[in-house]
Structure 1
Amino acid sequence: MTPDTSARAYRSELRAKQARGTRRRIVEAAARLFAERGYQATTLTAIARDAGVSTETVKTAAPKAELLIAAFEVVFAGEESAQSLTDTEVGSGILDLPDELLLDAVVGQIAVANARGHALWTVLLGAAASDPVVDTALQAILARRAEDYRRLVGELIARGYAPAVTDPHATAAVLSFLLSPESYQQLVAQSGWSSERYVAWLRGAVLAELAR
């Protein structure tokens, strides 16, 4: 590689890194404001001000609906557009754990993700009712979540956690409900449960379902 080519490659890499950093600041600002103010009341100008960039920069980064989706994904899972939770910080390495640690790790990490993301999940559900772009994205998120839980149930059956399960798809649907952000919203945010009580309840509820 010639010196000129090396310099161009370095500048290109630097610009790409700066662009990723700017987008991350925008998405994190959007996450804070959507959680605090809701979808309709949050403007691109407000996001720009919070992120320390121009409104035009925010508009270039993504439309408002896409920013809400990205904000939820980053807050809940740690990154955007992952096809499975096993590809994110929430699920990374889960399937490599020994059998005796698997269930507690799943419950614990999902509980932490729910604590981070439950407020934005509520905003996402509300926005989907009036914004078709958000609704389409929500349906895709739900489809990926359903597939993740079907894969999890298969793993639990293979590891001996669920010898009585006869309908894995039905069990996956129940686990998706139990471990959803809605359960955290109702039990912790609304009812005042401690995180420890919530995790203990989740573990017990999941085990009870697997024993059915």
Structure 2
Amino acid sequence: MGTRKYVSSTRADTAAQTRTRILDSGQRLFVEQGYSSTTLRQIADSAGVAIQTVYAAGSKASLMTAILQRAFIGDEKFVSLIERPEFVAIMTDEDTDRALSRYVDFVVGANARIADLHHAAVLAADSDRSIGEEIERSELRRLDDIHTGSVWFVHRRLIGAGEVAEFADVLSYLTSPQTYRYFAVDRAWSREHFTRWLRASIDSHLTTPDA
């Protein structure tokens, strides 16, 4: 019985590692050469697996969807951002100014990882409806997280209770992958420059006397 469990666990680990290689290769190729120009054969060759293994992992659209989910939330299993331990640790920091700086660093780091992939997915959505739908779902989850998380700013006396909706709209724009990509990629701002700008922009929308 113990041997069978060990073999089963080993096979599961191997399958997970193989899928990770496939998703990693797909992400790199989608960003480097575009979704439409990337083939499953290229993904297989890059991942070092048989083409049949990639077919078993899913269609090209489903792979892009899985890659997007993993990039947005850290893995393929959805967990709200505001419930993830690393984010909770930031929001429970007793020093509000330090918490804001940690939050900005977190957002910039996340967008640095996903901005190019998000751009590739937006372009792919023109030819694949399922990818467009996944982008829309991801954006709705992001907006919901931001709106819920904006209550933290009320608790820290940084905005008024009646300002949550408008502040969440502003914050969703400032922290979006598109905003990061415009400044950091299109306008070639350094990460440090963008980080300072983002913190200053958030600070400028804090309205209570304690802000």
Same fold, TM exceeding 0.5? yes
TM-score (norm 1): 0.90
Unaligned runs of 5+ in 1: none
Q: Which residue of 2 aligns with 1:138?
A: 135
Q: Percent identity?
A: 33
Deviation, 1:171, is 1.5
Q: Distance in 2 between matches of 1:52 and 1:176?
A: 39
Q: Does 1:80 align with 2:44?
A: no
Q: Which residue of 1 aligns with 2:12?
A: 16
Q: Distance in 1 between matches of 2:136 and 2:71?
A: 18
Q: Distance in 1 between matches of 2:46 and 2:131?
A: 22
Q: Which residue of 2 aligns with 1:170?
A: 166
Structure 2 SS opposite 1:210 = coil
Structure 2 SS opposite 1:168 = helix
- Contact kept in structure 2, 1:78 and 1:89, CA below 8 Å: no
Letter in 1 for 2:8: S
Q: Which residue of 2 aligns with 1:187?
A: 183
RMSD over aligned CA atoms reads: 1.9
Deviation, 1:33, is 0.4
Q: Does 1:57 align with 2:45?
A: no
Segment of structure 1 superposing worse, 180-189 or 93-102: 93-102
Counterparts in 2 of 1:30 and 1:90: CA distance versus 1, 3 Å: farther
**From 20, 26, 29, the counterpart of 2:25:** 29
Q: Does 1:200 align with 2:196?
A: yes
Q: Does 1:155 align with 2:146?
A: no
Deviation, 1:119, is 0.5
Q: Distance in 1 between matches of 2:90 and 2:115?
A: 22
Equivalenced residue count is: 207
Structure 2 SS opposite 1:138 = helix
Structure 2 SS opposite 1:126 = helix
Letter in 2 for 1:199: T
- Contact kept in structure 1, 2:82 and 2:149, CA below 8 Å: no
Deviation, 1:11, is 0.9
Letter in 2 for 1:116: R
- Contact kept in structure 2, 1:178 and 1:202, CA below 8 Å: yes
Q: Distance in 2 between matches of 1:149 and 1:136?
A: 20
Letter in 2 for 1:193: W
**From 204, 209, 212, the counterpart of 2:205:** 209
TM-score (norm 2): 0.90
Structure 2 SS opposite 1:98 = coil
Structure 2 SS opposite 1:72 = helix
Structure 2 SS opposite 1:93 = helix
Counterparts in 2 of 1:35 and 1:145: CA distance versus 1, 3 Å: same
Q: Does 1:7 align with 2:3?
A: yes
Residue deviations 1:69-114, cap 9 Å, x none? Answer: 2223334543223231235576353333224222111111110111
Letter in 1 for 2:5: A
Counterparts in 2 of 1:90 and 1:41: CA distance versus 1, 3 Å: farther
